[in-house]
């Protein structure tokens, strides 16, 4: 499937409500469970998504669109959320929804052309990447973390399901 | 995490709204994409969830609760949805939500005790399983299919993300 601005945006605008539907109001054991040491809970994943809205997707798109001399992205800190002050999960869900809505208004305001989608920036490790690839990655990154959230939650019942574990591939992914 | 009726139910009651938030109104390319031959699209996953509400979780719990002579479950047909008449995705989302709500009313009406949760039935392949394990599996099965849905969607952009694929483990799970 090729990246299409409208179809991609359709996913981006659904992610806040998906995370809210899945997580809001759940008992803490679901929100704070992980897959083991140094893996992320749904709570930490929400912080990571917020950090991406602030420092990754739109700021990098701006660098590409400016077409300046230096098109190198600022490295993204995948662990920033682990150092941030603790907010409630409800606050994180609200903050993510607000930041995402604002970023989608910015994206829409650009009225990007096919030509612009082919413009390039420089990823600090991956090298030259296009705006189209950046936006497709924004979408896939959301979906990856929705999948991760559900997987992390499922694993909390790895023992509780007893022999059914053999029929639940999510337990061992 | 041990199975807890209230915490487990909290997930079960959220799944219809999670699937709706993630899928309702998306362009067909997202709804019908798969991971390759003989794998499921989000549309097929919705049909499978509906079939589970009809023939798996609550009917099996009833067999256990009856504590009759024969406690053997009817085998679950994992592919039934592939033979069913095509409905719109919106219809499937509505049908799943209605069936799930009805099943949760049934579950709540049973006012299950800890003793009953330890009662057993006989799975056609796995042998003796408890009601507690059956209910934990209902929860984990939901979460596994939420994760699968997001993963299948992410993979539609496997090429579109270009070099970022190396940073997106969901693409190769």
The complex's ipTM works out to: 0.96
**Can you give the pLDDT at residue A132?**
98
Residue B79: the pLDDT is: 85
Query: Across chain B, what does the average pLDDT equal?
Result: 96
Mean of the pLDDT values across residues A81-105? 93
Q: Does the pLDDT at position A38 exceed 80?
A: yes
Task: Please check the confidence at residue B56 and state whether its pLDDT lies above 90.
Answer: yes
- Show residues of chain B in contact with A167, CB under 8 Å: 126
Chain centroid to Cα B12, Å, comes to 9
Residues B6-15 pLDDT 10s: 999 999 999 9
pLDDT range class, residue B49, cuts 50, 70, 90:
very high
Interface mutation target, options A73, A150, A156, chain B, most CBs of B under 10 Å = A150
Mean pLDDT of B161-166: 97
Q: Please give the pLDDT value at position B99.
A: 98
Kindly state the percentage of chain A with pLDDT values over 70: 100
- Tell me if A11 and B153 make a contact (CB, 8 A cut-off): yes
Whether A157 and B139 lie within 8 Å, measured CB to CB: yes
To the nearest whole Å, the CA of B86 is away from the closest chain A CA by 23
Q: Which of A151, A155, A168, A172 to mutate to test the interface with B (most CBs of B within 10 A)?
A: A151
Disruptive mutation site among A17, A157, A165, A170 for chain B (greatest number of B CBs within 10 Å)? A157
Mean pLDDT of chain A: 96
Q: Under an 8 A CB cutoff, do A30 and B18 touch?
A: no
Per-residue buried b or exposed e for B44-75, using 16+ beta carbons within 10 Å of the residue's own CB: bbbbbbbbbbebbbbebbebbeeeeeebebee
A10, B2: Cβ pair inside 8 Å?
Answer: no
| Residue B76 binned pLDDT confidence (cut-offs 50, 70, 90) | confident
The pLDDT tens digits of the residues spanning B18-32 come to 999 999 999 999 999
**Inter-residue contact B150 to A146 (CB < 8 Å):** yes
- Specify the 3-state DSSP secondary structure of A8: helix
Tokens linked to B67: 């504590």
B126, closest residue in chain A (CA to CA): A163
A169/B153 Cβ within 8 A = no
B137/A173 CB distance under 8 A: no
Please tell me the total number of residues recorded for chain A in this structure: 173
Please report which confidence band the pLDDT of residue B77 belongs to, taking 50, 70 and 90 as the band edges: confident
Mean pLDDT of B55-77: 94
Average pLDDT over every residue of B116-143: 97
Say how many C-beta atoms besides its own lie within 10 A of residue B166's C-beta.
12
Q: Name the residue among A140, A138, A117, A124 with its Cα closest to residue A53.
A: A138
Q: Is B1 in contact with A29 (Cβ distance < 8 A)? A: yes
Residues B94-115: what's their mean pLDDT? 98
- pLDDT for residue A85 is more than 80: no
* Chain segment A51-61, per-residue pLDDT in tens: 999 999 999 99
Contact: A160, B126; criterion CB under 8 Å:
no
B85 pLDDT higher than 80: no
- Averaged pLDDT for residues A84-100: 93
In tens, the pLDDT along A117-144 reads 999 999 999 999 999 999 999 999 999 9
pLDDT at B117: 98
The token pair that represents A122 in the structure block: 């420089």
CA-nearest residue to A7 within chain B is B27
**For residues B96-113, average pLDDT:** 98
Tell me how far apart the alpha carbons of residues B142 and B151 are, in angstroms, rounded to a whole number: 14
Looking at residue A80, its pLDDT comes to: 84
The number of C-beta contacts closer than 8 angstroms across A and B is: 181
């Amino acid at each position: 499937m090729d990246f299409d601005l409208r179809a991609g945006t359709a996913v981006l605008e659904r992610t806040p409500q998906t995370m809210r539907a899945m997580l809001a109001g759940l008992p803490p054991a679901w929100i704070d469970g992980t897959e083991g040491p140094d893996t992320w809970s749904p709570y930490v994943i929400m912080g990571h998504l917020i950090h991406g809205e602030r420092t990754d997707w739109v700021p990098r798109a701006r660098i590409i669109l400016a077409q300046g001399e230096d098109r190198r992205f600022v490295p993204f800190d995948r662990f920033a959320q682990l150092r941030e002050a603790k907010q409630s999960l409800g606050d994180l869900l609200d903050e993510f929804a607000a930041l995402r809505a604002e970023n989608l208004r910015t994206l829409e305001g650009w009225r990007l052309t096919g030509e612009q989608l082919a413009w390039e920036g420089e990823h600090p490790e991956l090298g030259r990447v296009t705006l189209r690839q950046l936006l497709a990655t924004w979408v896939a990154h959301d979906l990856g973390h929705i999948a991760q959230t559900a997987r992390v939650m499922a694993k909390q019942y790895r023992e509780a399901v007893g022999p059914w574990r053999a029929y639940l591939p999510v337990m061992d992914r």
